[in-house]
Structure formats: C-alpha cells, structure tokens
Chain A
Amino acid sequence: MKISSIEGEALGRFTPSDPVIGLDIGSRGSKGVLLTADEIHTEFVPTGLYMQETADDLLARLLQKSGVRRRDIAFVVGTGYGRISLKYDYIPYQVVTEITCHAMGAHVLNPRTRTIIDIGGQDSKAIKIDPATGKVVEFVMNDKCAAGTGRFLEKAAVLLGLDLHELGPVALEATDPSPVSSQCVVFAESEMISLRARGERVGDTAARANIAAGIHFATARRVKSLLGRIGTEPDLVFTGGVANNAGMWHALETLIGAKFARSPIDMIYAGALGAAVHAGRHHAAAVAAGTARRNARAQARTTASPTRKAAARATAGRKTAAAHS
C-alpha cells in the first residue's frame, strides 16, 4: 500500500531511507509491518509454538507481499511477548518493548494522540504519550490475570457458541445488557452459566446478545480502572487486537464518556508499525555513525603519514568490501 494513500499522511514524515521491518510477536497473534520510503505492508499470522518460526514466516510473507529482497532489509525491530527469542543473521536486530512501540505506532498515525488503550491477547495497557515526540510519559498495565484482556473475550465467545469475530457485533444488538459483575475469567464463566440457567438460553438470540454485552462491559470496567490512574486526555486511541471488536469499542466509549479517534489502518498493527519506525531510526543512527566514521577516517588520511595513510586505505577497502558482500 502506498503511504500517500493513508489518510492524514502524518506517517510520511517517519518513513525510512531503506526498507525496515517491525515484528510484534504477541501471545496470540503475530503482526509484521514493512516500511519503505513510500510504502507500508502489513501481515498477520497466529503465533505458533516456536516464536522464531512464526517470525520467519511473517518476514517471508512481508517480503513476498512487498517485493522487497531480504538482503535489502536494513533493520528489524522485534517487540511483543516473543521479542527476546528472535535472531537474525545479516540483519541488524533490536528489541523494544511493546509499550514504547504502541506509543510510537499510534503517534505516527495520529500525532495528536495523548492517551492509548491497548488490549491484546493476554494483557491490557493504558499509555500516556507526549504528542511532540511520541514518547511514553506514563503507563499502567493490568495484573497478571486474564480479566480485561482478549483471552477473556475468547473464553466468553466459546461459552456463547460464537466465533470470536461475532462476539462484538452480537453484543451491539443487546437491549438490556446482563449484569456480569465478576472480573475474573473463572468466576465470570460461572456467572454466565448461571445466567443461561436462569432461562437466558444461548439459543435465544436476544438473551445471548445481552450476555455478550454484559461481558464486554465487565471487561471495559477493568480497563477503565487502568485509565483512571493516568487520565484520558484526547486524542484517545484504541490499539491492539481487541480494537477490532466493535462491542468493546462501544462499551469503552460508553463507560469512559469519550470517543476514540478513528485510525487510518487496522490498529492491531500499531505495535508492529511503531517497531518499524524504531527500526528506521536505528538504521538512520547506524548510517549517521558510519558517515561520521568515514569522515573521521578521511580526516585521518589527510593528516596521517604516508605509511599510515596506506594502512588506513587498506582497512577502509576491506570494510567496504565486507559491507557489499
């Protein structure tokens, strides 16, 4: 996709000189973004048992989609749950946390972003960012349980006999959301079972919608408590896989009493995009450092004695050859 076709075009100011990749290896799904000077490509694969295989698969798909050659990739940044386990031969690689990456991803798509809610497969976060730089000012993360995360919604969908992508739309049809007070997956599950037992059978479409809505509100309350600690300055942006769930979007907007800013791309890619932008910066810094070294060597050549000059030339020659191989 051409970056110029993305609404707002803020991203254009952050594109790299050479192709770079951001990989966000999540607990449930892995996301990749390849950025070039004027294009953006995204890919999604479910996270497998072996993080490196998942990441390799993601990288191969990104290359195929974009037509960029592997050897032209200047830098890779990894983020997310599986960030540490990745290794690349011949491509410089760095790790950045998903908190920093989500902030940057949201920032480059919408520089007015000040507050982010990120809900992923196994955690949720509220992040406050500096709109001047896209840097993290504060963040809050959920405790280790699954309440307020995508995992909770997955469990709920199974109990209601729905596919995950149906859960949100079904919840929006609710007329009277069921009271689900429990914020623990295990207890919420038993609450749902007792709601069903009270005659609100799963087969009954209206009752199912009410239970689904109740589940979304229970999750949203949990997430809202994170926001309570860092504030909700606009623009408010929703990122992560759960940002695709219309029911969650509605429940959060209702409880917070504010609207999320619309994003020009699927915000499941916010972390990977932020990682790609960081990759671009690392690459630029490496190029700048290389230029500085070359200038310093050139300086040394003009002032050095003839023998040292020859030695410096030989070293520079070897380095150049290595860089091209």
Chain B
Amino acid sequence: MAPRPTTDQSLSPALLPIQALIEAEQQDFTEGADGRKRAGYFCAYTPPEVLNAAGLRHARLFKAGSPEIVSQGERYTQSVFCDFSKSCIGGFDPEGGDPFYRAVDKLYTFHTCASMKRATEVIERFVPTKLLNLPRLRGEPASRAFFREEIAHYRDDVAELAGRPVTDDEITAQIVLYNKVRALLRRFSELRKGVNPPLTGRDFLELVRGFYYVPPEKLLDVYGKLYRKLSRVRDNGARPVRLMISGSIMADGDRRLVELIEQEIGARVVVEDHCTGLKPFAHTLPEEGDPFQALADGYLDQAPCARMKPLDDSLDFSARLAEEYAVDGVVYVYLKFCACYGVSKLEFIERLQSRGIPVLEISSDYSQSDHGQLKTRLEAFIEVLQDRRTDLALSRAASGQPTGTNTGEFAHG
C-alpha cells in the first residue's frame, strides 16, 4: 500500500511537530527494533491503561479512508459492511495490507458493533486475537461486575503477551497518567469555545490521533507545551460559522469532510461527538480503590457509543455538546451500512432539532467520488445557517432584545 499522503497544508503550523512525532512512532512500531511486543485495538472502549502498564507498544488501529484498502477487505466480506470494518480487514490482509497493521503481535477487541465483531472473526485468520465482551446495558450493576471480570481477563492476556506480571499498582499509576492526558485534551477542546478558536477541527483530530499512537508519558510533555502556546493566542478574529460533527467514526485518514468544511468553505468545526473526536476524553476514571472496577466503571461511564443502552444518554451528550460549544449547526455523518449510527440517525437528528439546532445528514464512504455533491450540500447548509444568523441579528435589532426563535427545522442534506 502507498503511504498515507501527508496533508500538511491543512494542519496549523503549530501542529506539524505533533504530526512528525506520530509518524516517527508509527515507523518505530512497524519496524519493532526494540523487541517489545506490539498490541493493537480498534475501539475506544479498550483501556490502553493496561497495555501501557505491561510495557507493550500499543496503538489504536483506525487508519482508513482510502478506497484501495477497502477493496482489499471486500475480498473477505459482503458489500453490506461499512467501509471502516472492511478497511480493518484490509489492513491485516497478508497480501497488500498495511505494514503497520501487519506488525501487530496481538489484537485486542472489545465486541462493539456487529460488523466489527464479524470483521474481527476474519482477522483472527491473520493475527492472534483476543475477543472480549462489552456489556450494552451500561447502567446495570450486573454489567459493571461482568465488565470488571472481562477487564481482569484482558489484564491476564496482556501480561502473558508481555511475558511479565502486571500489578494493580501499575494499573492505578496508568489510570492517573491517562486521566491527566484526557484532562489536557479536554482543555485543548475548551479553547474552541472562543469566538475565533486558535485550533481548527482538523488540528483537534490530529491531537486525538496522537493520543492513540504516542505513549502518554511522552505526550504529556509535548502537548503541555503546545497547550501553553495555543492558550496564549488572542481571540480577536471574526466569528466563523461554527459546526459540530456528529455520528460514526472519523478514521485516521478520513479528513475530506473536515478539510472541505474548513479549507474550501471556510466554516469551522468546533466540536465533535464521535469516538475519534472529543468523545473519548469526556470522562475521568476513579483513581482510588480496585483498579479493575475503576476501569470497568470509567469506561462504561464514558460518553457512550450509539451501540450502548439507553440511547438517550448518547443523545443527551450530543445535544449538550452542541449547546456548550454554541454551534450554528450539526453535520451528522455516518458510514454507509453503519449498523449503529445509520440506524439511530433519526433519534439524533430529532433530538438536536428539538433544541433548535439545524442538522445536515450525510451518509458517506471512502470512495472519494462524491466530492462535488458533498460540497454542494455543505455550502447550501452553510448558506442556510448564515441566513438564519442574519435574520436572528435583524430580529434582535428590531425588537431590541435577544430572541429565541430557533425552529431548528432543518435536516437531511
């Protein structure tokens, strides 16, 4: 496979060293010169705390976005799998897969959606895989007790791979460390609440990408410096149209929507509720007591994926984020054939609209052939949002007071 083209021109200059750091880490991971075992995982419900405590090299495997790797995966699936799950298979394919994926010694996968579980069953042919269960009913005490046990199994398996025991204290230390990184990422995101944020939506995705490839001890230092730099930028530019991206995963390599919005159209993504944006950083784990229960509770309490029940929790989280970040509209984007976000889309759209927030619905894949159509839809949506802002400003001026006439009556581009 050809290396992923770097899209430096779309990243703010301050982020370029981060990008270089990520690429160096990826290269080390692929080459494996230090002899450490390498673990990979797909889903944001996999606690990296345990992998890091065992001294493994580890990375979230979410590189996707190119049609070539999708067709690689299609050799093993039906067409009605989402392009992300096909890319996961394609990455592990012994012929023409991604060297980064092929370098993985063991894959840990918490069973999330149906396609990812099936994809994992194909991948078992290519790499040793540990499939773990993730309860759906996140509020039930039984779910929590069960998930604690799954995480204990996960620890045992990880320890075996590392060839050394992993103690409770080591895990607790990692929980403390990862809590710091998550808090720092939340603070980066908070900077986007300003009128003219010092980092773009594209930049934030790069920070998230770093979280999944670079070890936290290295990250804290680099991100801390960058945060101090960005937090000093004066917030004095014009207010761009502010958007939230909602919906299914936005893979490492799937940047075309964000680039279209920010680079071509000139609007700004100020927050995202998907599992490769702000969502995995919204929670803090308990730092006291049984570390397994802390991981079980912490990960079940995180801002939930749409596969979790009750769905209301996911809907509330999205609506709250949209309001907190004062967005003008939401772009709800899901991968074709997505069994979670493609099915719960109406609930999401209705919940946001009922709060007066316009939503544009986009179903997408990695085929790259619909650029013109996407652009037309997004531009038209932004024209509507600008009109609404003008009307709102006019009616405010006319009545001499703020009005709340948001009908939010918009959807389905």
Residues of A within 8 A of B (CB): 81, 96-100, 123, 135-141, 143-144, 229-230
Contacts and interface: CB of A to CB of B under 8 A. Distances in A.
Contacts of A100: 380, 383-384
Interface stretch (B43-51, B229-237, B370-378): B370-378
A238 to B, nearest CB: 19
Nearest to A226: B412
B383 A96 contact: yes
Contacts of B384: 100, 135-137
B380 A97 contact: yes
Which of B369, B370, B376 is packed against the most chain A CB atoms within 10 Å? B376
Given A100-B380, A136-B387, A137-B384, 5 more contacts: A96-B383, A99-B383, A139-B413, A144-B369, A144-B373
B363 interface: yes
Interface in B292-316: none
B383 A97 contact: yes
12 contacts: A81-B372, A97-B379, A97-B383, A98-B376, A99-B377, A136-B383, A136-B387, A140-B413, A141-B373, A141-B413, A143-B363, A230-B412
A136 B380 contact: yes
Given A144-B369, A144-B370, A144-B373, A229 B380 contact: no
Contacts of B337: none
Contact of B412 (A96, A140, A144): A140
A137 B370 contact: no
A138 B411 contact: yes
Nearest to B377: A141
Interface string B361-396: 001000001101100110110011001000000000
Nearest to A80: B376
B412 A229 contact: yes
B343 to A, nearest CB: 16
Contacts of B370: 143-144
Nearest to B407: A137
A222 to B, nearest CB: 15
Contacts of A123: 373, 376
A144 B373 CA distance: 7
Contacts of A136: 380, 383-384, 387
Contacts of A137: 384, 409-410
Nearest to B363: A143
B182 to A, nearest CB: 37
Contacts of A140: 412-413
A144 B376 CA distance: 12
Contacts of B411: 138, 229
B373 A97 contact: no
Nearest to A142: B373
Contacts of B377: 99, 139, 141
A135 B377 CA distance: 15
Contacts of B383: 96-97, 99-100, 136
Contact of A135 (B363, B387, B413): B387
A137 B411 CA distance: 9
A298 B96 CA distance: 72
Which of A100, A136, A138, A140 is packed against the most chain B CB atoms within 10 Å? A138
Contacts of B373: 123, 141, 144
B3 to A, nearest CB: 27
A70 B376 CA distance: 29
Contact of B376 (A135, A141, A229, A230): A141
Contacts of A81: 372
A50 to B, nearest CB: 16
Contacts of B363: 143
Of all A-B residue pairs in the complex, the 4 with the closest CB atoms, nearest first, are: A99-B380, A144-B370, A97-B380, A140-B412
